[in-house]
């Protein structure tokens, strides 16, 4: 089994090096490396996509293949509001697609530290084959068929991490982060289920697990939010980070989706107004979220609400607007 990692940034490179360390034949391709992408594709059995979410469509439109694909990108396309699996389906048409996601930083993978990931694919044989091929003593991989839920969890956690960074930047203290994570989980699950993900997926590695570590200083999205709280400029904050911050563009996408579906999304709405519109100051960020979130007066859900959520998720959500 031969792997080709296309778009080998820090995370893609870490995954590629891990595969090599496991004795798997692996080729890495970078846009500026001068290597021939056609030869990497032709000499690989499985392609791993390591390009950023906003570059995924133009990148995949530059070649044709029906080989199996594993995607590493965590985001939603801002221009067309599509998830990565939808972009792959419309450009490559591969019938074997998987998303590999979960709480993991490139530095930990490179250091050989243990990580736990989720691999989602609609193709049962493919996901089980990849689970066997990629698992090891340091890589614990669980599988699911909820591609939508895993993709949305990975995208939304980047958005929420920007908010965590803003809170850190304005100095709310450590206690608030626990509350922040719990409110983010409420919004992630509600939005995620309406868009097609399963409720339970968001409590797993690709949702809650990834959210927790992304709301820390090791995350570029978190650092972007903290810097933004100080300078109030997207451009200056991105320049300071010096690399891709997926949550910035994904915030635009999820806000557009939430508006179109009239969703109650206090965090996404206020984040967008703070970061992209500039009409809410970072110092007023938390106050405004809590004002909008006051409609959710009770913690948890009643038995009737749980039943409605499972049977009629879209109707259930509209009842909560």
96 is catalytic: no
Q: Say which residues have a Cβ less than 8 Å from residue 47's Cβ, sequence separation at least 6.
A: 3, 4, 6, 41, 65, 67, 68, 69, 70
Query: What tokens does 242 get?
Result: 């010096």
Query: What tokens does 168 get?
Result: 């850190």
Q: At 127, give phi and psi (nearest 5°).
A: -65, -35
SS3 172: coil
Say which DSSP state 119 is in: E
Say which DSSP state 199 is in: G
SS3 78: coil
100 vs 71: CA distance, rounded Å: 6
CA angle at 261 for the pair 268 and 159, rounded to the nearest 5°:
20
Contact yes or no for 245/224 (Cβ under 8 A): yes
SS3 40: helix
Residue 262 backbone zone (phi > 0: left; psi -120 to 50: alpha; other: beta): left
Closest CA to 183 of 158, 160, 153, 207: 160
271 vs 225: CA distance, rounded Å: 10
Alpha-helical segments (H) within 243-298:
246-260, 266-275, 285-293
Selected catalytic residue, list 96, 124, 157, 314? 157
106 vs 242: CA distance, rounded Å: 16
Number of helices followed by number of strands (H, E) in the chain: 16, 7
Catalytically annotated residues:
157
């Amino acid at each position: 089994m031969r792997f080709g990692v296309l778009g080998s940034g820090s995370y893609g490179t870490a995954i590629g090096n891990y595969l090599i360390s496991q004795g798997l034949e692996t080729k890495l391709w970078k846009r500026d490396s001068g290597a021939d992408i056609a030869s990497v594709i032709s000499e690989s059995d499985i392609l791993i996509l390591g390009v950023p979410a906003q570059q995924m469509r133009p990148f995949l439109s530059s070649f044709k293949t029906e080989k199996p694909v594993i995607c590493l990108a965590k985001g939603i396309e801002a221009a067309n509001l599509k998830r990565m699996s939808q972009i792959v389906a419309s450009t490559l048409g591969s019938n074997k697609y998987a998303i590999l996601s979960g709480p993991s930083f490139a530095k930990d993978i490179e250091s050989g530290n243990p990580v736990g990931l989720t691999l989602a694919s609609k193709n049962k044989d493919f996901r089980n084959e990849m689970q066997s091929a990629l698992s090891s003593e340091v890589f614990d991989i669980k599988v699911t068929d909820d591609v939508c839920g895993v993709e949305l969890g990975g995208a939304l956690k980047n958005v929420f991490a920007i908010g965590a960074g803003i809170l850190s930047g304005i100095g709310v203290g450590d206690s608030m982060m626990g509350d922040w994570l719990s409110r983010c989980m409420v919004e992630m699950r509600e939005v995620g289920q309406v868009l097609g993900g399963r409720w339970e997926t968001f409590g797993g590695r690709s949702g809650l697990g990834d959210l927790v570590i992304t709301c820390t200083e090791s995350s570029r999205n978190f650092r972007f939010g903290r810097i933004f709280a100080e300078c109030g400029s997207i451009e200056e904050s991105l320049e300071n980070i010096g690399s891709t911050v997926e949550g910035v563009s994904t915030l635009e996408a999820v806000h557009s989706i939430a508006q179109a579906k009239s969703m109650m999304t206090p965090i996404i709405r206020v984040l967008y107004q703070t970061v992209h519109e500039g009409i809410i100051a970072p110092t007023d960020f938390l106050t405004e979220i809590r004002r909008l979130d006051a409609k959710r007066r009770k913690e948890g859900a009643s038995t009737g609400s749980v039943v409605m959520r499972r049977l009629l998720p879209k109707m259930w959500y509209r009842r909560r607007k």
